Chain A
Amino acid sequence: MIRLFALLFVTLLPTIAAAQSEEIVLGLSRDEVAITATFNGSDVLIFGAVKRDAPLPEGGPLEVIITLAGPSEPVTVRRKERILGIWANRDQIEIDAAPSFYAVATSAPMGDALSAVEDLRHNITIPRAVNASGAPSELMDGLAFSNALIRIRAGEGLYQVLDSTIDFEEETLFRGQITLPAALTEGDYAIRIFLTRGGMIVDDYETTIVVYKAGLERWLYETSRNQPLFYGLMSLAIAIAAGWLASAAFRVFQR
């Protein structure tokens, strides 16, 4: 029964693909990133080809857009104000879900590769990706807060706009590279690839990369969360031992 369904699926597949004249075939340099003690950022190479059943259709060149988004988490954005001569945090806004990392790479300037309508629909550019997750509008200048979030994260290399960085040859082979910074959070990182023609999306493809802490880093992190008492005592013991050893070693070295 199961085999029959599988057979049916396989035979149906070409007909589904045929309905769509251009389709993405993807390769990834890696599908997981392990954060170890010496982790210092990582490059993700995203490459692929466009599969075509029909000759090149009319209507503008084909473009590729790739987005890579880290897990979303709520963020509080605070604004400083001068109170009694001192700059202190005053107003704050909570953004329900902002991606911890977001990069968007294109094969042509964003304005040419993507129409505003499609951006609204698929939340591709950074402001859309952040606001789509629901920036509250209770404050009049809510936009200033979400802009500040984008500005700060962009400054830290967490939000990247990589305009016209994708190599796209003969409207068939594409290759893009996104550099993950050293300060990463764990989770599933979503990759989306869009094919656009004249700003309109022709095909899209989604996959994920898993980013996780590994080895000693993982063990320390988990222990600190799951057994905080043990972790605290262990930290004290290790620190005392290390301090004592270092001074003992130095004394031997002095003699």
Chain B
Amino acid sequence: MQIYLPIAEVSVNAFLLLGLGGIVGILSGMFGVGGGFLMTPLLFFIGIPPAVAVATEANQIVASSFSGVLAHLRRKTVDLKMGTVLLIGGLIGAAIGVVLFNYLKAQGQVDLLVKLCYVVFLGVVGGLMFIESLRAIRRSRKPGGGAPVRRKHGLVHALPFKMKFRVSGLYISVIPPLLVGLAVGILAAIMGVGGGFIMVPAMIYLLGMPTKVVIGTSLFQIIFVTAFTTMLHATTNFTVDIVLAVLLLVGGVIGAQIGTRIGVKMKAESLRILLAMMVLAVCGKLALDLLLTPSELYSLGAAGGH
């Protein structure tokens, strides 16, 4: 069944969108990631204009993270104070990101920027995750493994404006969380992702937050930052397609439920290594697109952007 998307101005098969939403939903349920970093490139591939894909994906992430945050709030695994600090950084970052996005759109470089961001971040995160999980598997094979974890007193503890985060059990400067929030906000606006795949490692390794509050807190921040991004895109670019968002969402929510059940049955290390390989595959595909000679050197864009 073909459906005409009013804002994207293209006609797409509704079941294809539901299916895409479902597949990405299964993956995000299995791995506990938002899936925005997979969905946005997939939307490019089926012919949704990049600007619409990025803005609509932000809208979809708000909705798909909503029920997650409610569950975490009930379990009290959200550090609201840390979340608010991350959020302040995130809102500033999102505003910068949208301004940058609009500027580069007028210059005709937005596709390149979005794709470069994907290649760099997916490459780094995927690579690190891959090495880390390989090590974890090797460690678990060795008897009596498990390196002692030492609390490092690095830069995070030397900076001023210290604040107490009771839920996380931390007493650190607010500058690092603000910067992490800022970086994630910029990414959310440019890449159409929640940024969980950057924020979660940053919260664990840079800020030293306990793992159990990391997911809830990052979801809390992501909801508000992507909601803000959605509003910015909707009011400056008019590129949020609600019909597209709802179709992806319905598929995504159902897929996520299935994915969660699959994820429970698999080992954590093998899940992580699968996710790392998937991230690297998406990264490789996008990198090849940038490096290989394209079959069509020319591209069309709406004029009058400057």
Residues of A whose CB lies within 8 Å of any CB of B are: 35-41, 73-82, 85-89, 92, 94-95, 145, 148-149, 151-153, 182-185, 213, 216-218, 220-221, 224-225, 228-229, 231-236, 238-240, 242-244, 246-247, 250-251, 254
Q: How far is the CA of A182 from the CA of B64 in the complex (A)?
A: 30
CB pair B109–A236 under 8 Å, yes or no, is no
CB pair A35–B4 under 8 Å, yes or no, is yes
CB pair B298–A77 under 8 Å, yes or no, is yes
Given A231-B240, A239-B246 in contact, is the A250-B293 Cβ separation under 8 Å? Answer: no
Q: Select from chain A the residue with minimum beta-carbon distance to B70.
A: A244
CB pair A231–B234 under 8 Å, yes or no, is yes
CB pair A250–B253 under 8 Å, yes or no, is yes
Given A80-B299, A238-B242 in contact, is the A41-B108 Cβ separation under 8 Å? Answer: no
Q: How far is the CA of A65 from the CA of B231 in the complex (A)?
A: 49
CB pair A87–B231 under 8 Å, yes or no, is no
CB pair A242–B249 under 8 Å, yes or no, is yes
Given A183-B11, A232-B240 in contact, is the A75-B109 Cβ separation under 8 Å? Answer: no
B11 partner, pick from A40, A73, A148, A231, beta carbons under 8 A: A40
**In the assembled complex, B66 has its CB within 8 A of some CB on chain A:** yes
CB pair B257–A247 under 8 Å, yes or no, is yes
Chain B residues with CB under 8 A of A92: 108
Q: Select from chain B the residue with minimum beta-carbon distance to A248.
A: B67
CB pair B63–A242 under 8 Å, yes or no, is yes
**In the assembled complex, B82 has its CB within 8 A of some CB on chain A:** no
B254 partner, pick from A77, A80, A182, A246, beta carbons under 8 A: A246
CB pair A221–B7 under 8 Å, yes or no, is yes
Q: How far is the CA of A24 from the CA of B246 in the complex (A)?
A: 49
Range, interface on chain B: 35 or more
Render B223-237 as a binary contact track against A, CB cut-off 8 A, 1 for contact: 000010011011100
Which 9 interchain pairs have the tightest Cβ spacing? A182-B11, A232-B234, A148-B298, A239-B63, A243-B63, A74-B303, A246-B253, A40-B2, A228-B235
Residues of B whose CB lies within 8 Å of any CB of A are: 1-4, 6-7, 9-11, 59-60, 62-64, 66-67, 108-109, 111-112, 116, 227, 230-231, 233-235, 238, 240, 242-243, 245-246, 249-250, 252-254, 256-257, 290-294, 296-305
Q: How far is the CA of A185 from the CA of B4 in the complex (A)?
A: 12
CB pair A74–B4 under 8 Å, yes or no, is no
CB pair B297–A243 under 8 Å, yes or no, is no
Q: Select from chain A the residue with minimum beta-carbon distance to B240.
A: A235
Q: How far is the CA of A247 from the CA of B246 in the complex (A)?
A: 13
CB pair B109–A88 under 8 Å, yes or no, is yes
Q: Select from chain A the residue with minimum beta-carbon distance to B231.
A: A232
CB pair A145–B235 under 8 Å, yes or no, is no
Instruction: Give 7 pairs: A residue, B residue, CB < 8 Å, sorted on A.
Output: A39-B2, A86-B112, A145-B298, A148-B298, A224-B6, A236-B227, A243-B67
CB pair B249–A37 under 8 Å, yes or no, is no
With A242-B249, A247-B253 given, name 18 new contacts (CB 8 A).
A39-B4, A73-B303, A75-B300, A76-B303, A79-B298, A82-B293, A85-B291, A87-B293, A89-B108, A145-B298, A148-B296, A153-B300, A183-B10, A235-B242, A236-B227, A236-B230, A243-B64, A246-B249
Q: Closest approach, in angstroms, between the C-beta of A197 and any C-beta of chain B?
A: 38
Given A77-B298, A89-B108 in contact, is the A232-B11 Cβ separation under 8 Å? Answer: no
Q: Closest approach, in angstroms, between the C-beta of A92 and any C-beta of chain B?
A: 6
Chain A residues with CB under 8 A of B67: 243-244, 247
Chain A residues with CB under 8 A of B292: 87
CB pair B235–A250 under 8 Å, yes or no, is no
CB pair A182–B250 under 8 Å, yes or no, is no
Chain B residues with CB under 8 A of A82: 293
Q: Closest approach, in angstroms, between the C-beta of A165 and any C-beta of chain B?
A: 24
CB pair B62–A240 under 8 Å, yes or no, is yes
B300 partner, pick from A149, A234, A235, A240, beta carbons under 8 A: A149
Chain A residues with CB under 8 A of B290: 86-87
Q: How far is the CA of A145 from the CA of B59 in the complex (A)?
A: 36
Q: How far is the CA of A222 from the CA of B250 in the complex (A)?
A: 25
Q: Closest approach, in angstroms, between the C-beta of B146 and any C-beta of chain A?
A: 37
A250 partner, pick from B11, B254, B296, B301, beta carbons under 8 A: B254
CB pair A246–B250 under 8 Å, yes or no, is yes
CB pair A236–B59 under 8 Å, yes or no, is yes
Given A76-B108, A87-B294, A234-B242 in contact, is the A239-B302 Cβ separation under 8 Å? Answer: no
Chain A residues with CB under 8 A of B299: 77-78, 80, 89, 152
Q: How far is the CA of A12 from the CA of B294 in the complex (A)?
A: 62
